[in-house]
Chains A and B, each alone.
Chain A
Amino acid sequence: MSKKPPAPMPSKAITRRNRRNAYLFLLPNFLGFLVFTFIPVIFAFALSFTNWQGSNKMDFIGIDNFIRMFGDSDFTISFINTVIYTVGTVPFIMLFALLLSMLINSGIKGAPIFRALHFFPHISSIVAISVVWQFLYNNSQGPINMFLRSIGIQNPPGWLSSATWALPAVMIMIIWKYIGYYMINYLAGLQAIPKDLYEAATIDGANGIEQFFYVTLPQLKPTTFYVLIMAVIESFKVFTPIHVMTQGGPGRATSVLVYQIYRDAFVNFEMGYASAMSMALFVVIFVVTLIQFKLQNKYEN
């Protein structure tokens, strides 16, 4: 609170009033969260212990759903795919986003234009992007393979129709799409670094590379941490590009967890089992995030 000197009013009353106002302001958002997120999550948690299939009587079946997951090749395959997808996208997104933001921050001509251009994929609809990339990836007539052939690659990958390349194809597209968004995050982080740190480093004789490792990177730690967590969560939740571009195929080569959950819930109507899988997804993301928090604390101390 500001320190306007003479306020001999009963401060308790003021605090109470302020609190009430604050809670009132929070209420709409909190209500939305409660009704559309919190209660459903609790329900999903309860559902995960039942065999509910949409219309039948809900029977409590203990942890059967969770046991079933381990024997379910649909689950294990989509889990592995999700991990591959996350490991294969997040580091690249972060790396490219950082490089780009430094490039733009370095004061090159037309920086605002580049910034806007790179942000463009982020504001475009993911469905539209997926459809366009589907054509780019076309086996014989897609621009990507035409280019590859023109530079002398005789047998370019079949991309979306190849079980080996379909997932990398989606990953490449996603890296491209998200770079712009996280670049903006990094840009904000970079601009918040006080100039005098660089000046001091220059006086101490640090060259560009040393400045990057001893000034820029440490100063960007909070941003990096934020970007890492958001990107990991985002990638565990991937659904739309898969749904649009491959429907999990060919075979099950691009089936990811959320897509599998969707299929079990709304195609096969295994609501209980699908809820159990979403709980498993929750646990995975929770653990990953927890580890990241721990690591961050460790590095900060």
Chain B
Amino acid sequence: MLKKILCGLLAGAMALTMFAGCSGEEGTTSGEGGSTGTTESTGGEEGGDASGEETTLRLSLWDYETVGYDKAMVEAFQEANPNIKVDVVSTPNADYASKIAVMLSGGDEVDVFYIKSNTDYPTFVMREFVRPLSDLIEANNFDLEPYGTVLDQHYRMDGELYALPYRTNDWVLFYNKDIFDAANVPYPTNDMTWEELAEIAPQVTSGEGGSKIYGMYYQPKVSFILPFMVGYIDDYDNMTSDLSQMAYPIQYFIDLQNSGSYQSYAEAKSMSQDQTYFFNGLNAMFYDGSWFVQMLCDEESVDFEWGVAKSPYWEGTEQKGFATTTPIAINSTTEKVDAAWQLLSFLTGEEGAMVMAENKMVPGYMSDAVMETYREVTGIDDSSYEALTNNVTYGFGEPNTVQGLLTTAFQEELELAITGNQSVEQTVANMESRRTEIIEQNS
């Protein structure tokens, strides 16, 4: 009976990963040998390519079959590189973050893998799961210009790059033109503050009960709400910013909620609401990532005109918007470095970006040609196109390994505030004290 007490499963899983961890460590040593050997073997491998020798790469990502553009990119790569076979390991979206980390710590021989988001990325760097890319970028004269400012904001750690983004998503404001027309209110502009938004939101709110149209909508996930709030603080950084300033944006959100032009967060969350409410014409404005363009284009039930505006910003701050990116990295233990680079630079470079654009997604590699394709395919109007380009972005601060922990802690406290469980002052104080605790524990 006591056996049961031992939490057998959990411990079992740990020990399994540990078994595998041992082999992983062996892998690391041989991998190091491999990568020192890389420079010498480069020529050899290229020779191999020429002779048509086949290399097999393991690529790990999520929702391969359902997402669509990943599959299109991999297929395009296969066509361009018949001598490299790509084995795709796909995991459901919700499980991916833990799955990939368990795979890597278990010594899985994946060569190239997606990372769920740029906030997860620093942890992978610290765990030494990812291979530095500078030598490859230099050797191949790879152009980093089209990635814009996100490389420095999200990727460069101690001067080194360990991954490149294949997707860059600015957080912007989507709006339902029909609702605005009906209410005779001008569309949101590409230069609008959150304060102005709070003024127009009630004007486009109407109705009652289940068919009420809310003027403003955020997905009821704290991870979708914290981002716009931290824009209030200049040069925001999770580690160092004065969090007492967060009181203002939190209060703003609560006021918006109380005004009735945004549905109660707790309510929306308990019903697991998502973007379908915008699809169904129940929201006039919606703050979301630019990936939503694709969903809007492809969703057949959307029977209204919509537009995109640049992310609102806070009065008195410089105009900027939150951005997230999706990194792709090379496993530090892989021995097929050249083939892996070929795949990585295809997915994150111009060719992959073109496929992304054709699939209505904003890629990381935003060259003019790529963006022109994007504009044609999505058919968005000029001001929407403008909203999605040349954005000044911000994030949660310098990439570091406690970034994820801090963000989670802030989100937990924020959720207590916006569900009315905790006062704003208490929330801000708790954010400060938990930050201190996390930094102390992880130093």
- Enumerate chain A interface residues (CB-CB to B < 8 A): 33, 36-41, 43-44, 47, 52-57, 68, 71-73, 134, 137-142, 158, 160-164, 229, 233, 237, 248-253, 258, 261-262, 265-269, 271, 274-275, 278, 281-282, 285-286, 289
Supply 21 A–B pairs (Cβ within 8 Å), ascending by A. A33-B3, A37-B6, A41-B6, A41-B11, A44-B11, A52-B21, A53-B127, A54-B21, A55-B105, A138-B271, A139-B266, A163-B421, A251-B421, A252-B412, A253-B421, A261-B7, A269-B127, A271-B14, A271-B18, A278-B7, A282-B6
Closest-by-CB residue of B relative to A163 is B421
- Specify which of A54, A237, A249, A282 is in contact with B105 (CB 8 Å cutoff): A54
Q: Say whether B191 faces chain A, with CB atoms less than 8 Å apart.
A: no
Residues B419 and A158 in contact, CB atoms below 8 Å apart: yes
Closest-by-CB residue of A relative to B106 is A54
Q: How far is the CA of A142 from the CA of B421 in the complex (A)?
A: 20
Q: How far is the CA of A37 from the CA of B21 in the complex (A)?
A: 18
Residues B404 and A251 in contact, CB atoms below 8 Å apart: no
Q: What are the residues of chain A within 8 A of B101 when measuring CB–CB?
A: 54, 266, 269
Q: How far is the CA of A250 from the CA of B5 in the complex (A)?
A: 28
- Specify which of A36, A262, A286 is in contact with B12 (CB 8 Å cutoff): A36
Residues B14 and A274 in contact, CB atoms below 8 Å apart: yes
- Specify which of B7, B17, B128 is in contact with A258 (CB 8 Å cutoff): B7
Q: What are the residues of chain A within 8 A of B241 when measuring CB–CB?
A: none
- Enumerate chain B interface residues (CB-CB to A < 8 A): 1-8, 10-18, 21, 24-25, 28, 97-98, 101-102, 104-105, 123, 127-129, 264, 266-267, 269-271, 404-405, 412-413, 415-416, 419-422, 434, 437, 440-441
Q: What are the residues of chain A within 8 A of B105 when measuring CB–CB?
A: 54-55, 269, 271
Given A161-B270, A250-B421, A43 and B11 touching (CB < 8 A)? yes
- Specify which of A71, A158, A250 is in contact with B441 (CB 8 Å cutoff): A71
Residues B21 and A55 in contact, CB atoms below 8 Å apart: yes
Q: Which of B10, B17, B105 has the most CB of A within 10 A?
A: B10
Closest-by-CB residue of B relative to A72 is B441
Sort A-B residue pairs by CB-CB distance and give the 3 closest, nearest first. A54-B105, A40-B15, A161-B266
B121 CB to nearest A CB, Å: 14
Q: How far is the CA of A299 from the CA of B147 in the complex (A)?
A: 74
Q: Which of B10, B11, B405 has the most CB of A within 10 A?
A: B11
B443 CB to nearest A CB, Å: 12
A86 CB to nearest B CB, Å: 14
Given A43-B15, A250-B421, A278 and B10 touching (CB < 8 A)? yes
Q: What are the residues of chain A within 8 A of B264 when measuring CB–CB?
A: 139
Known contacts A73-B434, A281-B7; 13 further A-B pairs (Cβ under 8 A): A40-B15, A47-B18, A57-B25, A138-B271, A160-B270, A161-B419, A163-B421, A250-B415, A269-B105, A271-B17, A282-B6, A286-B2, A289-B5
Q: How far is the CA of A163 from the CA of B418 in the complex (A)?
A: 12
A90 CB to nearest B CB, Å: 15
- Specify which of A57, A161, A237 is in contact with B7 (CB 8 Å cutoff): A237
Q: How far is the CA of A71 from the CA of B437 in the complex (A)?
A: 8
Given A55-B127, A251-B416, A261-B10, A267 and B437 touching (CB < 8 A)? no
Given A40-B15, A53-B127, A285-B5, A249 and B415 touching (CB < 8 A)? yes
Q: How far is the CA of A261 from the CA of B405 in the complex (A)?
A: 14
Residues A163 and B270 in contact, CB atoms below 8 Å apart: no
Q: What are the residues of chain A within 8 A of B127 when measuring CB–CB?
A: 53-56, 269
Residues B8 and A41 in contact, CB atoms below 8 Å apart: yes
B24 CB to nearest A CB, Å: 6
- Specify which of B128, B419, B421, B437 is in contact with A55 (CB 8 Å cutoff): B128
Residues B2 and A162 in contact, CB atoms below 8 Å apart: no
Q: Which of B7, B123, B271 has the most CB of A within 10 A?
A: B7
- Specify which of A33, A55, A161, A274 is in contact with B104 (CB 8 Å cutoff): A55
Q: How far is the CA of A162 from the CA of B270 in the complex (A)?
A: 11
Closest-by-CB residue of B relative to A255 is B412
A79 CB to nearest B CB, Å: 15
Residues A282 and B5 in contact, CB atoms below 8 Å apart: yes
Q: How far is the CA of A57 from the CA of B102 in the complex (A)?
A: 16
Residues B441 and A40 in contact, CB atoms below 8 Å apart: no
Q: What are the residues of chain B within 8 A of A56 when measuring CB–CB?
A: 127-128
Closest-by-CB residue of B relative to A33 is B3
Residues B15 and A44 in contact, CB atoms below 8 Å apart: yes
Q: What are the residues of chain A within 8 A of B416 when measuring CB–CB?
A: 163, 250-251, 253
Residues A233 and B8 in contact, CB atoms below 8 Å apart: no
Given A47-B18, A161-B270, A282-B6, A54 and B11 touching (CB < 8 A)? no
Q: How far is the CA of A233 from the CA of B17 in the complex (A)?
A: 26
Q: How far is the CA of A158 from the CA of B17 in the complex (A)?
A: 40
Q: How far is the CA of A44 from the CA of B17 in the complex (A)?
A: 11
B128 CB to nearest A CB, Å: 6
A5 CB to nearest B CB, Å: 39
B17 CB to nearest A CB, Å: 7
Q: What are the residues of chain B within 8 A of A53 when measuring CB–CB?
A: 127
Q: What are the residues of chain B within 8 A of A37 when measuring CB–CB?
A: 3, 6, 8, 11-12
Q: How far is the CA of A258 from the CA of B270 in the complex (A)?
A: 23
Residues B17 and A250 in contact, CB atoms below 8 Å apart: no
Residues B11 and A269 in contact, CB atoms below 8 Å apart: no
Q: How far is the CA of A282 from the CA of B437 in the complex (A)?
A: 26
Residues B11 and A278 in contact, CB atoms below 8 Å apart: yes
Residues B14 and A43 in contact, CB atoms below 8 Å apart: yes
A280 CB to nearest B CB, Å: 11
Residues A251 and B415 in contact, CB atoms below 8 Å apart: yes
Q: What are the residues of chain A within 8 A of B21 when measuring CB–CB?
A: 52, 54-55
- Specify which of B2, B11, B266, B422 is in contact with A158 (CB 8 Å cutoff): B266
Q: What are the residues of chain A within 8 A of B2 when measuring CB–CB?
A: 286, 289
Residues A233 and B4 in contact, CB atoms below 8 Å apart: yes
Given A68-B441, A138-B271, A275 and B14 touching (CB < 8 A)? yes
Q: How far is the CA of A275 from the CA of B3 in the complex (A)?
A: 16
- Specify which of B4, B13, B270, B412 is in contact with A139 (CB 8 Å cutoff): B270
Q: How far is the CA of A299 from the CA of B304 in the complex (A)?
A: 74
Closest-by-CB residue of A relative to B7 is A278
- Specify which of B7, B13, B24 is in contact with A282 (CB 8 Å cutoff): B7
Q: How far is the CA of A3 from the CA of B358 in the complex (A)?
A: 85
Q: How far is the CA of A253 from the CA of B420 in the complex (A)?
A: 13
A158 CB to nearest B CB, Å: 6
Closest-by-CB residue of B relative to A131 is B272
Q: What are the residues of chain A within 8 A of B412 when measuring CB–CB?
A: 248-252
Q: What are the residues of chain B within 8 A of A268 when measuring CB–CB?
A: 404-405
Q: How far is the CA of A269 from the CA of B28 in the complex (A)?
A: 18
Residues B11 and A266 in contact, CB atoms below 8 Å apart: no
Q: How far is the CA of A281 from the CA of B9 in the complex (A)?
A: 14
B243 CB to nearest A CB, Å: 16
A168 CB to nearest B CB, Å: 14
Closest-by-CB residue of B relative to A269 is B101
